[in-house]
């Protein structure tokens, strides 16, 4: 029919990504776990080195994997087979991140409010456990970017809507990369650090309005940190 283009077949890369996602799911990997070596993944997936590297890079782009040079590749968040894996086009310089903050304010504040309403007692405890780890690392090292990420993920989980985790992780990924390489990274988050406990307490008190407000307050400090990186 004139005017219609054929639907392209799934690319080889997408097929390899699907296999890798299925491999992670079948082997019950969870956030924080280290993936096997590149050679082991090549053997397990039945593909070449370049295919494995491209698939890993695509999953890194949506904040599902993290490549730590010299240490290996680690799970940042688990994804389900069949999940739509589309990285958001967020520029990783300051102006692009400032635009993305509008999305974070809307999404993360609602996730926190829903967590205050929906979280089980066990999930409240898990949020507190992640908070305690974050506080310990912050006091020991002065920066706790990964632990901060884990704390917020526990809140998205407690909202009982997997789309929060999928979408917010895409949005937060460029922020993590930016602040990881920031000149003042050891001081990043100092001013907002006490608010994490206040956010936890608002959720534990089952107070959606206060949970929403504390999240917005936290992200206002993120904006200040962004603007301070000149």
**Per-residue pLDDT tens for 112-135?**
999 999 999 999 999 999 999 999
Looking at the predicted structure, is the pLDDT value of residue 32 above 70?
yes
Please, which pLDDT band fits residue 81 given cuts at 50, 70 and 90? low
CATH numeric code, 94-228: 1.20.120.530
Looking at the predicted structure, is the pLDDT value of residue 70 above 90?
no
Identify the residue with better confidence: 160 or 165: 160
Name residues whose C-beta falls within 8 Å of residue 12's C-beta, 6 or more positions apart in sequence.
51
CB distance 196 to 131 below 8 Å = yes
Q: What is the mean pLDDT of the chain?
A: 83
Averaged pLDDT, 87-108? 80
Q: Which CATH number fits domain 12-75: 1.10.1050.10, 1.10.10.10, 1.10.1670.10, 3.30.1960.10?
A: 1.10.10.10
Q: Mean pLDDT: which of 98-107, 131-140, 157-166, 197-206 is highest? A: 197-206
Percentage of residues of the chain with pLDDT beyond 70 = 85
Would you say the C-alpha torsion 58, 80, 113, 206 has a positive or negative sign?
negative
Averaged pLDDT, 208-221? 96
> What are the phi and psi torsion angles at 190 (to 5°)?
-60, -45
Averaged pLDDT, 13-30? 85
CB distance 73 to 66 below 8 Å = yes
Please, which pLDDT band fits residue 7 given cuts at 50, 70 and 90? very low
Averaged pLDDT, 195-210? 97
3-state SS assignment for residue 34: strand
Q: Where are the domains of the chain?
A: 12-75, 94-228
Q: Write b or e for each residue in 182-203: b if 16 or more Cβ atoms lie within 10 A of its Cβ, otherwise e.
A: beebeebbeebbebbeebbebb
């Amino acid at each position: 029919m004139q005017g219609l283009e054929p639907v392209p077949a799934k690319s080889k890369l997408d097929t390899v990504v699907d296999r890798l996602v299925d491999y992670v799911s079948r082997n019950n990997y969870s956030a924080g776990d280290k993936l096997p070596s590149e050679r082991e993944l090549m053997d397990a997936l039945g593909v070449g080195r370049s295919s494995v590297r491209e698939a890993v890079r695509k999953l890194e782009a949506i904040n599902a994997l993290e490549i730590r040079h010299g240490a290996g590749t680690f799970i940042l968040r688990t994804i389900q087979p069949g999940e739509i894996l589309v990285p958001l086009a967020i520029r990783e310089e300051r102006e692009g991140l400032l635009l993305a903050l509008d999305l974070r304010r809307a999404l993360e504040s609602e996730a926190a409010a829903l967590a205050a309403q929906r979280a089980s007692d066990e999930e409240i405890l898990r949020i507190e456990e992640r908070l305690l780890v974050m506080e310990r690392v912050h006091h020991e090292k002065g920066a706790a970017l990964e632990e901060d990420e884990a704390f917020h993920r526990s809140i998205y989980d407690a909202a009982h809507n997997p789309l929060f985790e999928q979408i917010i992780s895409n949005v937060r990924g460029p922020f993590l990369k930016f602040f990881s390489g920031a000149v003042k990274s050891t001081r990043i988050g100092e001013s907002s650090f006490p608010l994490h406990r206040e956010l936890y307490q608002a959720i534990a008190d089952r107070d959606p309005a206060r949970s929403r407000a504390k999240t917005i307050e936290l992200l206002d400090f993120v904006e200040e940190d962004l603007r301070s990186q000149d």
